[in-house]
Homo-oligomer: A and B are copies of this chain.
Amino acid sequence: MSQEDRREAIIDAAIEVAIEKGLGATTVRDVAGRMGSSSGLIHHYFDSMDLVLASAFRKVAEKDLATSRDELAALDDPVTQLAHFVNTYFSPDRDSAFQFWLDAWSEAGRNGALQQASSSLNIDWQQTLLTIIESGVASGDFECSDPLGASWSTVSLLDGLALQIVAHRTVLSRDQSILWAAATIERDLGLRSGVLTHAAAPVGAASP
C-alpha cells in the first residue's frame, strides 16, 4: 500500500467516525480502531490530529462539491442548473456533509487548518453559483446587476436555511425551505415566480 493510499485510508476512516461522533469528538484511537491499525500509525502519516480532521472535512466537502458540479455540468441552460441547485441543496443525502460544515464553521476560529479549508471551499461553492448566474445574465435568462452579490446572497440564504434543517431537525421542512429559497432567488434574478420549482424536477430533486 502506497504512502498516498495509506493517507487516504486514514482520512476515510476519520470521515466514518466523524459522521457518527462529530468532527470535534473524533479521536486518534477511534480512527485507528476503525482501520484495525495502531494509533501510532496515524502520527506516522500526519503531524497532528488537527490535520487529520481538517483533511477529513476537506475530502467530504470536496466530494460534495464535485458531485454537485458534475450534475450541473450535465444540464445546459442556466435556469435548469439553478433550479437543480436549489432543489437539491437540502437533500437528506447531504445532511452528514452539512454537519461537517457546521462543525467546521464552529471550529474555524480555533483551528487554522480548518479555517483555510472551510473558507476556500465556501468560496468554491459561491463561485459555482456565480458561474451559473453570469451565464444566465449573458444568455438573457437572468436580470441581475450584481452577480457577485447575488451569488453570495444565494449561498448564504441556502446555508442559513440548511442550517435550520440540519441543526434543529423539525423547525423547518425541506420542501417548504425550497419554496421559500426559490421565491427569493427568483426575485433576485428577475425570474418569473415559480420558474425554479415548477420546472421539470431534475434527478434527485425534492425530498421525502
Contacts and interface: CB of A to CB of B under 8 A. Distances in A.
Point out which of A21, A25, A187 has the most chain B C-beta atoms below 10 A from its C-beta.
Answer: A187
A31 to B, nearest CB: 18
Interface string A139-155: 00000001001001101
A80 to B, nearest CB: 22
Contacts of A110: 21-22, 25
Interface in A82-129: 99, 102-110, 115, 118-119, 122-123
A181 B167 contact: no
Given A122-B168, A163-B156, A149 B180 contact: yes
A187 B21 CA distance: 41
A33 interface: no
B22 A167 contact: no
Given A149-B183, A157-B157, 8 more contacts: A22-B106, A22-B110, A102-B102, A105-B167, A152-B161, A152-B180, A156-B159, A159-B160
Dominant secondary structure of chain A at its interface with chain B: helix
Interface string A180-191: 110110011000
A166 interface: yes
A21 B167 CA distance: 22
Nearest to A163: B105
A35 to B, nearest CB: 23
19 contacts: A21-B110, A24-B24, A102-B102, A102-B106, A103-B106, A104-B167, A105-B106, A105-B163, A108-B167, A115-B167, A123-B171, A146-B180, A149-B183, A153-B183, A153-B184, A156-B161, A157-B184, A183-B188, A184-B187
Contacts of A184: 153, 157, 184, 187-188
B164 A122 contact: yes
Interface in A45-86: none
